[in-house]
Amino acid sequence: MVLTTETRRPTVPCRSTPRRTPSAPPPLAPGALPGLGHAPALLRDPLGFLGSLSRHGGVVRIRLGPRTVCVVTDAGLVHTLLVALAHDCPRGAVQDTLKTAFGDGLLMSEGQAHRDRRRIVQPAFGPERTGEYLAVMHQVAEERAGSWRSGQVLDVAKEMNHLALEIVTRTLFDARLSEDATLAFHRALPDMVKGQIVQSLYPHPALARLPLPVNRRFDAAVRVLNQVVDQAVNGGARSGGSPEGGCPFGGTAAGGRPSGEPDRTLPALLRAAVDPATGRPLTEADVRSEAVTMFGAGTETVSTTLTWLIDELLRHPRVEARVLAELDEHLPAGTVPTPEALARLTYTRSVTQEVVRLHAPNAFLMRTASVPVDLGQYRIPAGTELLYSLTALHRDPLLHPEPLRFHPGRWHEGGAAAVAGRQAFLPFGAGKHKCIGEAFAWAELTVAAAAILRRWRPTAVAGSRAREVVWTTVQAQDLRVRLAPRTADPRTDTPRTNGPRTDSTPRTDSAHRTDTPRTDSAPRTDSAPDRPAARPQRREAGPATALPRPAPPTHPAARPPATTGLRRPGELRASTARHADWVLGHGLLTPAGLPRYQAYALPELIGHAYPRARGAELDLLVDVLGWFTILDDRFDGPPGRRPDRARALVDPLLAVLAGTAPAAAPDDDRLLHAWRELWLRQNDGRSPAWRARSAVEWRACLDTFLAESAHRSRGTFPGLPETMRLRRHASCLYPFMNILERVHGADAPARLHAEPELHRLRAHTADAATLINDLYSLEREERQPAAAFNTVLTLQRVRGCTRRQAVLSVRARVARLREESEALRRRLLRRHPAGHWYLDGTRELVDGVYAWTSTSRRYLSDGRRG
C-alpha cells in the first residue's frame, strides 16, 4: 500500500518566469563571503538557508568554498530532475562517499547496473509479501511496547531507533540482532552520517584519506556497520542475547523456516540471483552492499518520523484521540494488520503524511549533471552539482499554506496538499530512483504507531521537546516522555484496550487475548500449572537439578497440559505391551535389552502428545517412535562415525520411500523390514498429497543421519544455522505432525497447508521440541565419546559461551518460539477455523515433549539409571 497522494492531481507549475529558450545560468544567491561562499550560512541554519532560496528563483547557485552548487527550489523542476533527467543527472557526492564505503548497491548504483539490481531486489517488496511483513511488524512492535514499564522515562529517539532496526532485521533478514550489536549500530550511525557529509564537501577526494578525526570516526563506523550487517546476513547475531548477555543464540531464522519452504529473505534472494552483466551469481560484497542499504535507509528515516509523530501528538491531543478512535474502529486491539485494514485508516494516513511533510527525513540530496541539461529557463553545464531539499520543498508556503503548522486536514480530499499533487510531496523521491521500500515504510509507521498508542499515554518530561538536528537527515533528538498505561476510554470509563503490565514482567500476550475464538476441542490451559503434573516425582540428579529448566512459558496458552492426556491409563498400558511384542517380534531388541528400553517410557510421550489417539493409530504412533529411537541409538555406534556404514543403513530405508529396491544389501534387515511395515501402515488410506508430503519429510529426517556421520568422520562441526537445520529434521517432528492427520481421520484443509504461516508454525514446533530435547539430553550427550549434535554444545563451540550461558540462551529461544507459535495459531485459526484440530495438535506435540523429557529416564547418564 502506498500512502502518497493520487497521481491524477494537477501538477505544480514552475515558480520561474514564462518559459523561453534556456540560456542564462541560474542566479547567484546573495550573501556569499569571500573564500567561504555560502558555507557559513548553510552550516549555521541549513533548513532556514535552503528554504530562503526559493524567493530568488526555481534554480539558484550557491558557493561552498571553491565549489559552485545549483539548488533546485521549485517542486516541478525537482520532479523533472528526478524523472525526466534521471539518466543525465546521476547521484552526487554524498552518495559517492557511501559507494566508496559500502560498494555499488541499489542506493549508490546508476544506469543499467541500478536497473538490474532493482529487478533483483523488487520481489522482496512485492505486494504478495505485504501480509507477511505486516504480521512481523505487528509482533515486533507489540513486543517492544510491551517491554516498557508504567512510569518509565523513555528516550523516544533511541527507542524508535531500536524498534525500526528490529523491524528491518526481522522482516527482511528473518534474524535477530543481539543487544550489543543493536547498540553498536546506533552508536556508529551518527559518525557515519557526519563523515558522509564532511567528505562530500571536501574540495578533493584525497582529503578523505587523511588521518583526520572525522575520517577516522567515519572509517570506524563503517567497520562497525559492516560487522553488524554481516551478523544479520549470515545469521551470526540472530536471536536476542542470552539472559546473561554472553551468548546470543543465532541458529535459526526468526521466522523458523522449514527446509521445504523456500528461503525468501533478502540475502537468500540476492544469493540466488545472477548478475545480468556478468552472468555470474552476485558476490557476498554485493549482498552486503544491499543489506547496508536496507539497514541504513530502513532504520533512521522511519525511527526519526516515529519520534516526530509522538512529538506532534503530544502537542495535539485531539488529533491523537481521532487516531485512536479510528484504530479502534478499523484495527481492533489484537488484530494483525492487513493491507485492507490499513487502507481504511484514512485519518491516520493523513496524520502520518503531515508528519512526513513537516519533518521530511531527508534534509538535502544531490545529483550531478553528467551532460549539459535544461531546467526551466536555465542551462546547467556538465559537471554541475545539483542540490535539492525535501524539507524546504515541503515547507514552501506556495505549496503548503501555513507550512510550519501541523494540520492533517490539508491531506483530506480537497485540501491544499492533496490538490498540489505528487510533485509537491516527494518524501520517497520519484522516477527510477524512487525508494523501493515506500509501501513498506508507510505500513511500518502505521503499525508501530498503533502498537505504541494503544498501550501507552506518553507525557513529555518537563523541558523536553524534540529538537531538529540536521545532517543528511533531519533528526529528532532530546524528546523524553514518561509512560502511563492507556487503560480506559474517558468517554465510557471502560477499558479501551488490554492495558500493559506495570510490573517487571514484559507483557507478551495482551494483544491477542480477546479476539481468539475457543474451540470445544481445545484443551483448557488457562489455569494449568507451569510444570506438567503427569509424573510429579523428582529425580535426585540429572537435568532436573544439574541444568536450569526450560524457561517457564510466559502466557497460559503456552503452558503444558496438567494431565497425561484424555485416554484411560489402561489403554496406554495395553498399547505399551503390544509395542513390546512388536519390537521383539521384529528382532529390533532382545528380551534382555527390553527393560532398559521400556524405562524410556516412550509410549508416555505419545500419550502426552496425542491425547486423542486410540486403537490402531495409537499403536502406529508408539511403534514409529520406538523404531526411530532404536535407529537413532544405532548411530551411537559405528554408523555415527563411518559414512559408509551410515549409508549402508540409511539407503535401503530411503529406497522404501521411493518405492524402489535397495541398491545394495541392507546393513540391518530387521530395521528395514520393520520400516517397510510402518511405511505401509502410515500410508494406508491416506491421500496422494499426504503420501508425497510424508515421503519428503521422512527423507529429510533420514538424510540428517548421513550428514552427522560425515561431520563426525571428518572431525568437523557445523555452524549454528546448519546445526539447527539438522536438529530440526533429525527430531522426526515433521513426520509426526503429518500423523496428526491420520489420527484425525482426514487431511488438514489444503488452503491451510498452503499458508506460509503454517510452514512457520511447523518449523517453530519442530525447533521448540528439539531444543527442549537438547536441554534434557545435554548431560548424557556430554558424556559420549563422539561429538553430539546438541544445540547447547554447538553454542559453546561456535560462540565461546559458558555452559550456563548456552543453556539460558536455548531456554530463552524455546520461550520465544512458543510465544510466536501461539500468535501464528491465532491468526491461522481466524482464517481456517476448520483446521483447529491440526493447530491444537502442534501445540500438544511440544507440550508432550516438554512433559516427557522432564520425566523420562532416557536422558539420564548410564551411572544414574538405577
Specify whether the CB–CB gap between 682 and 694 falls below 8 A. Answer: yes
pTM higher than 0.75: no
**CB 77 within 8 Å of CB 376:** yes
Mean pLDDT to the nearest integer, 98-117: 72
As a whole number of angstroms, the distance between CA 62 and CA 56 comes to 11
Residue type, 837: W
Asked if residue 803 has pLDDT above 60, the reply is yes
Kind plus residue range of the DSSP H or E element containing 477: strand 474-477
Mean pLDDT, the chain, whole residue set = 77
What is the pLDDT, as a whole number, of residue 418? 54
> Which of 776, 778, 801, 802 has the alpha carbon at shortest distance from 789?
778
61 φ/ψ angles, rounded to the nearest 5 degrees: -85, 140
Of the listed ranges 526-530, 621-625, 635-639, 710-714, the one predicted with least confidence: 526-530
CA-to-CA distance for 530 and 557, rounded, in angstroms? Answer: 11
Instruction: Characterize the bridge pairing of strands 456-460 and 467-470.
Output: unpaired
Q: Tell me if 782 sits within 8 A of 859, measured CB to CB.
A: no
Cα distance between residue 218 and residue 859, in whole Å: 53
Q: What is the pLDDT of residues 175-206, one digit of tens each?
A: 777 777 777 787 777 777 777 767 766 666 77
For the ranges 421-435, 735-749, 832-846, the lowest mean pLDDT is seen at 421-435
Q: How many CB atoms lie within 10 A of CB 211?
A: 7
Side chain identity at residue 368, one-letter code: T
Query: What φ, ψ does residue 403 adopt, rounded to 5°?
Result: -65, -25
* DSSP H or E stretch at residue 467: strand 467-470
Coil vs helix vs strand at 213:
helix
Contact 376, 22 (CB under 8 A): yes
Please give the pLDDT value at position 113: 79
Helix/strand/coil percentages in the chain, nearest 5? 55, 5, 35
92 band by pLDDT with thresholds 50, 70 and 90: low
The least confident of 48-52, 340-344, 428-432 is: 428-432
Indicate the SS3 state at residue 485: strand
Cβ contacts of 229 within 8 Å, gap of 6 or more: 288, 291, 292, 295
CA gap 408, 317 in Å, rounded = 13
Distance CA 658, CA 51 (A): 72
Joined grid coordinates for residue 759 = 510452514
Strands 488-489 and 274-275 turn out to be unpaired
Give the count of beta carbons closer than 10 Å to the beta carbon of residue 189: 20
Q: How far apart are CA 225 and CA 296, in angstroms?
A: 9
Paired sense of beta strands 456-460 and 153-155, if any: unpaired
Does position 512 have pLDDT exceeding 60, yes or no?
Answer: no
Nearest to 447 by CA among 164, 729, 683, 647: 164
Round to whole Å and give the CA distance between 240 and 177: 6
Q: Which helix (H) or strand (E) holds 474?
A: strand 474-477
DSSP string, 610-629: -TT--HHHHHHHHHHHHHHH
Amino acid at 40: P
Percentage of the residues of the chain whose pLDDT score is greater than 90: 25
pLDDT in tens, 263-320: 678 888 888 888 777 788 888 878 878 887 787 777 888 899 999 999 999 999 999 9
Per the model's pLDDT, the better-predicted residue between 256 and 384 turns out to be 384
Burial tier of 9 (Cβ tally within 10 Å: 0-12, 13-18, 19+) = middle
Q: In terms of C-beta density within 10 A (0-12 exposed, 13-18 middle, 19 or more buried), how is residue 789 classed? A: buried
- Out of 496-510, 724-738, 755-769, which region has the weakest mean confidence (pLDDT)? 496-510
Helix (H) or strand (E) holding 516: none
Q: Is 166 in a helix, a strand, or coil?
A: helix
Residue 287 confidence (pLDDT): 83
pLDDT digits (tens, 9 = 90+) for 267-280: 888 888 887 777 88
456-465, 533-542, 556-565, range with greatest mean pLDDT: 456-465
Q: Residue 559 pLDDT > 70, yes or no?
A: no
**512 vs 494: CA distance, rounded Å:** 19
Q: Nearest 5 degrees, angle CA 346-CA 164-CA 806? A: 140
